Chain A
Amino acid sequence: MKKIIQYLFIPSQENSHRAKALHNDALSLYLLFAVVMVLVFKVSPLSNILGYATDITVDKLYQLTNQQRTQNNLPLLIYNDQLSRAAEQKARDMFANSYWSHYSPSGTSPWDFITSQGYKYEFAGENLAKNFIFSGNVVDAWMASSTHRENLLRGEFTEVGFARVDGILDGQETTLIVQFFGKPADTQNLLTLPTKKSEEVAAAATAVFENTNLSTPQKTVLKSKKFIDFSKISFNVTVFLILFISIALISDLYMASKLKLIRIHGKNLAHLIFLITMLTGLYFFLSKGVIL
């Protein structure tokens, strides 16, 4: 194993004084792999269901949301399938009707999606996000906004549902995140307040709703997803390959400099500048996630 690593990353006589991972045959393999990735994830019929290569998963969002609540001494939110289905319905509606808002152009509110799934609530709230690549960045952005933070840390909420849906919005491939909070309608409390009217509290970015419906929703716990998440696989494989090449470039540059090797090859320093620039550019492009 040690010999393989040395052969791949450290210039020596065995690899013609150049890390094997940087030989042209290895580089041609990376290029071939990149072409295959593009064909599989962007050109093939699979691409229609794969969408963006992002690290965002419902499980991770749920975990991070509850982590924030734990840090603020609040009870954990229970994952609710009905809220998640409502969130997915909302995200698909935004794609279908080309809007990015809490309210649809036809006036459909977030609460309509929640009630359409049979979820009767006393309180409900909605947080939206789009075009983020990491789950952590989504929750961080929500926590940095007072109104979204208020939703995340609202003591009244007891349940939560999420949806991450990829699609085309305004002609651009977009990843939408919808987070619905809820507190099921409490029959006893409502019976003591029979005259209480529905009241809506809507802020610019978030909204909370109070209702006097008498039925109680079903509670469910988070189910582990059994299907293969191709987006995550493509993301992880890409990150792994970039790291692999970066390590090869750095170790080869360091060892060649240390051993004062003179070789006819591309300049590792130039490759690293190129790689860092591309990653920085990508960071600027992808960090443009928006919350609402």
Chain B
Amino acid sequence: MKIKATTFLDYLILSTGAIFLIFFLQLYQGERISSFLILLSFVLFYIIWAFYHHTKDESLHIKTMIEYIFIGFTFLLLLIVIFII
């Protein structure tokens, strides 16, 4: 699996967002509403990242964006609402 330099940069941005997510979750540990909002922000960041990445990659398609939205909100609901809120 080869990854182009520009794609690598995109994944680096996504990973940076992930690191920020964990940092902020640590910062607001135990505060349920804050944690939920941080995770919701990460889901939105993930969807925006997908839009940016696929636009750059010239592979943007409504079907692709729906996939990100479904995955993002499925995990948000399953993991966060069931366990946290």
Q: How far is the CA of A288 from the CA of B43 in the complex (A)?
A: 23
A-B contact count (CB 8 A): 130
12 additional contacts (CB under 8 A) given A31-B74, A41-B82, A257-B1: A31-B77, A34-B74, A34-B78, A245-B71, A245-B74, A265-B64, A273-B14, A275-B75, A277-B21, A278-B76, A279-B79, A286-B83
Interfacial residues of chain A within 10-38, with CB under 8 A of chain B in the complex = 22, 24, 27-28, 30-31, 34-35, 37-38
Q: Mark B10-25, 1 if CB is under 8 A from A, else 0.
A: 0100110010011001
Interfacial residues of chain A within 236-250, with CB under 8 A of chain B in the complex = 238, 241-242, 245
Quick one: given A31-B70, A37-B78, A284-B29, are A52 and B83 in contact (CB under 8 Å)?
A: yes
Contact A265 B82 (CB under 8 A): no
Interface of B is mostly: helix
Quick one: given A27-B74, A266-B68, are A284 and B82 in contact (CB under 8 Å)?
A: no
Task: Specify which chain B residues have a CB less than 8 angstroms from the CB of A22 in the assembled complex.
Answer: 67
Query: Can you name the residue of chain A whose Cβ is closest to the Cβ of B39?
Result: A281
Quick one: given A24-B70, A278-B39, A285-B35, are A270 and B11 in contact (CB under 8 Å)?
A: yes
A282: Cβ under 8 A from any B Cβ: yes
Contact B75 A284 (CB under 8 A): no
Q: How large is the interface on B (under 10, 10 to 19, 20 to 34, 35 or more residues)?
A: 35 or more
Measured CB to CB, the residues of B under 8 A from A are 1, 11, 14-15, 18, 21-22, 25-26, 29-30, 32, 35, 38-39, 42, 46, 49-50, 53, 59, 61, 63-64, 66-68, 70-85
Contact A234 B15 (CB under 8 A): no
Task: Specify which chain A residues have a CB less than 8 angstroms from the CB of B42 in the assembled complex.
Answer: 277-278, 281
Contact among A38, A253, A274 with B82 in the assembled complex (CB-CB below 8 Å): A38
Contact B80 A282 (CB under 8 A): yes
23 contacts between A and B (CB under 8 A): A24-B67, A31-B73, A34-B73, A37-B77, A52-B83, A173-B85, A238-B82, A241-B78, A242-B79, A265-B63, A265-B64, A266-B50, A270-B53, A274-B72, A277-B22, A278-B39, A278-B75, A281-B25, A281-B42, A282-B79, A285-B25, A285-B84, A288-B30
What is the size, in residues, of chain A's interface with B at 8 Å between Cβ atoms? 46
Least CB distance, A129 to chain B, in whole angstroms: 15
Task: Specify which chain A residues have a CB less than 8 angstroms from the CB of B83 in the assembled complex.
Answer: 52-53, 133, 238, 282, 285-286
